[in-house]
Structure 1
Amino acid sequence: MPNTEFSRENDAAQDPSAQVNTSAGALSGAQRAAVTALVDSIQPVAEELGDRFDSHGQQLAIVGGPVRDALLGRATNDVDLTTDAVPQRILELIDGWADSVWTVGIEFGTVGLRKRGLQLEITTYRSEDYSPKSRKPEVAYGTNIHDDLLRRDFTVNAMAVRLPSQEFVDPFGGLEDLRAKVLRTPGRPEDSFSDDPLRIMRAVRFAAQLGFSLAPEVAEAARNMADRLAIVSAERVRDEFTKLMLSPDPRRGIELMVDLGVADHVMPEIPRMRLEIDEHHRHKDVYEHSLTVLDQAMDLERKRGHEPDLVLRLAALLHDIGKPRTRAFEGGNRVTFHHHEVVGASMSRKRMNALRFPKDVTTQVSTLVALHLRFHGYGKGEWTDSAVRRYARDAGDQLERLHILTRADCTTRNRRKAAALARSYDDIERRISELAQQEELDRIRPDLDGNEIQEVLGVKPGPLVGKAYRYLLELRLENGPMEKEKVVAELRSWAAEHLEQEGRQEK
């Protein structure tokens, strides 16, 4: 059986990884089985590739996330490997064996390949360093796995399984930290965060994703060095924040970001909500309210059978960020936040653009923020059918998310009020569903298209056709589907009046 205990038999003079920290103890039977299962999951590719490198005097090991996840019993889709072979040598060793090869990351020492449908990335042992003003790391290649693991972000990601021997390598006590659910760095956290400041974001992301805590020295270094995130590209920060938001417990990560001062450099609008009193519930501030809305939106997301939804979760977190700018004090100690949804939509768009979120995601989030208060005018169902149609039409393809966000936005402790709001929203969803069945609300169009408008009015394409189209759309929303003869008559009447008004204005 392959040796899956700690690697202790290598010549320490040749490979410092032989000097293994054994304080964590040996792998348990379940953990040995997990390591074996990890290797077996990529067989026979692992055996063939390991033998290929070993026969040419090169080292190869599965490293980082796949090892960590195997030991945690989590599924993994990534297969990351590390080697002492430089990129050109990697290409030589897999030439003629890999089904396909790509070199997008070769400047950072990474070669990608596909074999029998399995995708792998092999990276040369390396060390990275950021100069004080650089957004990209300077890469230097290493010669042993110990130094490669030393440069990794956290000890739980600094474990490896050698191929083909399946020796388990853990020089920095990652297994012990995995058991304790704590994030530590292999070396000094200050050195680690200086090498790559994005690791500060990775720390809060792993806390949310894995349910881990930060070691005191790691938290302190993150707090003191949060401003170093300024040199990291917006895209890399966005990717970490996205993973955090899609994690099982984004609230945990956001609270860490705020407590450590990281949010001040990533999304400063969030900590600014902490002292703003919510106009509906003065016993809690907007920050706590927003986190509660996020939790409740995620709960509804699950109950409605949806996968983790980035747009919904961002909208839940950001729906009230306009309140600090719109806060006003009126008579009777009354606090108001007039038009905070409009201001918040603009602020959301600006921040998400700064973080380089895709345009469609940014538009969807800002739309939900802008619409999140619309339902509160519904009252006890006084809306006409045309008002319900407009509500659904304005939400468009975001309607289901708006349903969830609006329901989640109810955080009152008053059970009677909460029940009344739930009944009202049940009613509006029922009415939207009924209207949708009757009229296919999600595809509402005027009863005449552009060509028909031109034919009825005897005009060529131009501004008048667009105005007529918008008029007919409002007519459709107000009245529902109409007979064509009546629509034509309404259009001609509108055109005559419209052209008459334009004539008077020209005089």
Structure 2
Amino acid sequence: MPDELTAAQRRAVAELVRVWPVADELARRFTAAGHQLYLVGGPVRDALLGRLGNDLDFCTDAHPDQTLKALEGWAEATWETGREFGTIGAARRGLRCEITTFRADAYDGVTRNPTVQYGTSLTEDLRRRDFTVNAMAISLPDHQFTDPYGGLGDLAQRLLRTPGTPEESFGDDPLRMLRAARFVSQLGFSVDPPVRSALRDLAGDLRRITAERIRDELTKLLCGDDPVAGLRLLVDTGLADQCLPELAGLRLEIDEHAQHKDVYEHTLTVVRNAVSYEEDGPDFILRMAALMHDVGKPATKAVGPDGRVSFHHHEIVGARMTRARMKALRFPKDVTAAVSKLVALHLRFYGYGRGEWTDSAVRRYVTDAGDLLPRLHKLTRSDCTTRNRRKAAGLAADYDALEERIARLQAEEDLAKVRPDLDGNAIMELLGIPPGPAVGKAWQHLKELRLEHGPLARDEAEAELLAWARREGLTPPAGPAGE
């Protein structure tokens, strides 16, 4: 461990040199006013990990009014949105600084909101933090390192422990349990056995947390470097039962003949595969679709007379379940719609290799996916987890062929902008009808023809429209066009 600690300290020095000028300037103003100032928490941890960003957290014995006074003439901007909790924000030279008065909060055990009480010492403040790796501080401007709870050693071991007892920490704020899973995903940490036990025992306390805060932690977890490790911790400790029960529900009982794969393990593999297909950083919509793509299987599981297991229409059921869960967690409507649509479409490709798809089917596949098509490509490829190399190679070749066919048709027809060959104005003029439902029905009919047959010449489109109008009982105007 000493070698790891030395390396961490070297990384910290290299990272902190960048922010010392601003931090020390700020500290000198607090010192001149008779106050203490410490860089604390996540920034100290991240500096030791070599990943310090532009957000700096400080703690001080100064109260908010005193902090604001010290910032006068120095901060380029200040904000007081966290004043209720003793926090004042400030910006300087591209850095965002949040300065919080020492805290010694009391919790009611019912909500996660504390009764804010200002503390008097750094050690007391550090004890109320979630994990030891977030309970380290550096005094400013003299740069003395303070680590009363062994955070540096835990950081070297990538271990999550709590400064006090885990029961005390999670009882104060149950959201910290999800933060543990998030740090496992983001930072590659493991969980101390007493912490893991407390996660199991106190999982039900997540009911005290608002849906929005749970959503934010799950989003960060899923976008971490190793989301599968974080997801496993949620399921193994029972936390998933409280916030994402569909995931825990994937652990189906394997039938005695083992006629289907372990859906839970398959899902985690699909998530890992989806991560490998990303090109520009974490894609939450893709990862969430990978996570939820098979959640409809438990509800649709059936065993046939031959003992074979089936999950008919699980993609439709899964899309509905995905919508309901994401709505409950207060995800934005557009994000929910995108993820649900990918879940609904993820099985559409299977069967393509039998050679039954016409150009019309390919057009519909592209049109139905819309701007989600690139993600659908990745999700479909991620869903191939078979260990049968011949089968895997066949599926990959089939999808290669489908993508090549899509590219050819797109080049010929611009499938991303498929529209009927006649617009609404042309329809109204040709049929002699005013705006209304009939125009929409005609437009949809022409779009179906466009998908089925590809682009039509103008006279062909007009003839098809007139024929449709006659079948619908609409009488086209007399004249050359209607003859």
Aligned with 2:27 (options 28, 41, 50): 50
Q: Once the two structures are superposed, what CA deviation does each residue of 1:306-356 show, in whole Å capped at 9, x if it has no partner?
A: 321111111111100001111112111011111110000000010011111
The whole-number CA distance in structure 2 between the counterparts of 1:72 and 1:417 is 42
Aligned with 2:420 (options 435, 439, 446): 446
Contact 2:112-2:172 within 8 A present in 1 as well: no
Matched, 1:132 2:109: yes
The whole-number CA distance in structure 2 between the counterparts of 1:137 and 1:446 is 60
| Cross-structure match for 1:362 | 336
Please show how residues 120-199 of structure 1 align to structure 2 within 5 Å: 120-199=97-176
| Cross-structure match for 1:16 | none
The whole-number CA distance in structure 1 between the counterparts of 2:432 and 2:113 is 62
Measured after TM superposition, the shift of residue 282 of structure 1 is 3.3
| Cross-structure match for 2:396 | 422
Measured after TM superposition, the shift of residue 29 of structure 1 is 5.1
The whole-number CA distance in structure 2 between the counterparts of 1:59 and 1:97 is 17
User: Which residue identity is paired with 2:398?
Assistant: S
| Cross-structure match for 1:14 | none
| Cross-structure match for 1:214 | 191
Give me the TM-score of the superposition, normalised by structure 2: 0.94
The whole-number CA distance in structure 2 between the counterparts of 1:438 and 1:120 is 54
Matched, 1:82 2:45: no
Measured after TM superposition, the shift of residue 229 of structure 1 is 0.6
Aligned with 1:463 (options 437, 442, 465): 437
| Cross-structure match for 2:446 | 472
The whole-number CA distance in structure 2 between the counterparts of 1:352 and 1:63 is 34
The whole-number CA distance in structure 2 between the counterparts of 1:180 and 1:436 is 52
Aligned with 1:233 (options 201, 206, 210): 210
SS of corresponding position for 2:117? strand
Measured after TM superposition, the shift of residue 25 of structure 1 is 7.8
Aligned with 1:496 (options 459, 470, 476): 470
The whole-number CA distance in structure 1 between the counterparts of 2:352 and 2:398 is 8
Please show how residues 269-284 of structure 1 align to structure 2 within 5 Å: 269-277=246-254, 282=259, 284=261
The whole-number CA distance in structure 1 between the counterparts of 2:410 and 2:105 is 56
Q: Once the two structures are superposed, what CA deviation does each residue of 1:382-406 show, in whole Å capped at 9, x if it has no partner?
A: 3111100000110111111111111
User: Which residue identity is paired with 1:204?
Assistant: A
Matched residues, number:
475
Return 5+ residue gaps in structure 1 as ranges: 1-23, 502-507
User: Which residue identity is paired with 2:127?
Assistant: L
| Cross-structure match for 2:479 | none
User: Which residue identity is paired with 2:103?
Assistant: R
The whole-number CA distance in structure 1 between the counterparts of 2:335 and 2:285 is 6
The whole-number CA distance in structure 1 between the counterparts of 2:383 and 2:436 is 43
Measured after TM superposition, the shift of residue 276 of structure 1 is 4.8
Measured after TM superposition, the shift of residue 142 of structure 1 is 1.1
| Cross-structure match for 1:118 | 95
Measured after TM superposition, the shift of residue 414 of structure 1 is 1.1
Aligned with 2:308 (options 334, 351, 357): 334
User: Cα distance 1:451–1:136, how it changes in 2: closer, same or farther (>3 A)?
Assistant: farther
Matched, 1:481 2:422: no
Measured after TM superposition, the shift of residue 32 of structure 1 is 4.0
Matched, 1:391 2:365: yes
User: Which residue identity is paired with 1:415?
Assistant: R
The whole-number CA distance in structure 1 between the counterparts of 2:4 and 2:305 is 67
The whole-number CA distance in structure 1 between the counterparts of 2:264 and 2:323 is 19
The whole-number CA distance in structure 1 between the counterparts of 2:5 and 2:180 is 27
The whole-number CA distance in structure 1 between the counterparts of 2:406 and 2:460 is 25
User: Cα distance 1:184–1:416, how it changes in 2: closer, same or farther (>3 A)?
Assistant: same
Contact 1:276-1:323 within 8 A present in 2 as well: no
Measured after TM superposition, the shift of residue 41 of structure 1 is 1.5
RMSD: 2.0
Contact 2:5-2:156 within 8 A present in 1 as well: no
Measured after TM superposition, the shift of residue 152 of structure 1 is 0.5
User: Which residue identity is paired with 1:62?
Assistant: L
Give me the TM-score of the superposition, normalised by structure 1: 0.90
Contact 1:182-1:213 within 8 A present in 2 as well: yes
| Cross-structure match for 1:11 | none
The whole-number CA distance in structure 1 between the counterparts of 2:428 and 2:104 is 68
Contact 1:226-1:262 within 8 A present in 2 as well: yes
What percent identity do the matched residue pairs reach? Answer: 57
Matched, 1:295 2:272: yes
User: Which residue identity is paired with 1:397?
Assistant: D
User: Cα distance 1:27–1:206, how it changes in 2: closer, same or farther (>3 A)?
Assistant: closer
Please show how residues 316-335 of structure 1 align to structure 2 within 5 Å: 316-335=290-309
| Cross-structure match for 1:20 | none
User: Cα distance 1:106–1:433, how it changes in 2: closer, same or farther (>3 A)?
Assistant: same
Contact 2:259-2:308 within 8 A present in 1 as well: no
Measured after TM superposition, the shift of residue 127 of structure 1 is 3.3
Q: Once structures 1 and 2 are overlaid, which stretch shifts more, 340-349 or 83-92?
A: 83-92
Q: Once the two structures are superposed, what CA deviation does each residue of 1:176-220 show, in whole Å capped at 9, x if it has no partner?
A: 111111100001111100111000001111112111111111111
The whole-number CA distance in structure 1 between the counterparts of 2:254 and 2:419 is 42
| Cross-structure match for 1:21 | none
The whole-number CA distance in structure 2 between the counterparts of 1:203 and 1:462 is 56
| Cross-structure match for 1:248 | 225
User: Which residue identity is paired with 1:349?
Assistant: R
User: Cα distance 1:413–1:338, how it changes in 2: closer, same or farther (>3 A)?
Assistant: same
Measured after TM superposition, the shift of residue 231 of structure 1 is 0.5
Q: Once the two structures are superposed, what CA deviation does each residue of 1:130-161 show, in whole Å capped at 9, x if it has no partner?
A: 42332533221112111111000000010111
The whole-number CA distance in structure 1 between the counterparts of 2:434 and 2:183 is 60
| Cross-structure match for 1:374 | 348
The whole-number CA distance in structure 1 between the counterparts of 2:306 and 2:3 is 67
Measured after TM superposition, the shift of residue 450 of structure 1 is 1.7
The whole-number CA distance in structure 1 between the counterparts of 2:2 and 2:358 is 70
Return 5+ residue gaps in structure 2 as ranges: 476-483
Measured after TM superposition, the shift of residue 56 of structure 1 is 0.7
Contact 1:129-1:194 within 8 A present in 2 as well: no
User: Which residue identity is paired with 2:354?
Assistant: K
Contact 2:112-2:173 within 8 A present in 1 as well: no
The whole-number CA distance in structure 2 between the counterparts of 1:446 and 1:127 is 67
SS of corresponding position for 2:149? coil
SS of corresponding position for 1:88? helix
Contact 2:37-2:58 within 8 A present in 1 as well: yes
Contact 2:37-2:60 within 8 A present in 1 as well: yes
Q: Once structures 1 and 2 are overlaid, which stretch shifts more, 45-54 or 120-129?
A: 120-129
The whole-number CA distance in structure 1 between the counterparts of 2:106 and 2:322 is 33
The one of the two structures with greater contact order (alpha-carbon pairs below 8 A, sep at least 6) is: 1
The whole-number CA distance in structure 2 between the counterparts of 1:165 and 1:221 is 38
Contact 1:311-1:361 within 8 A present in 2 as well: yes
User: Which residue identity is paired with 2:291?
Assistant: L
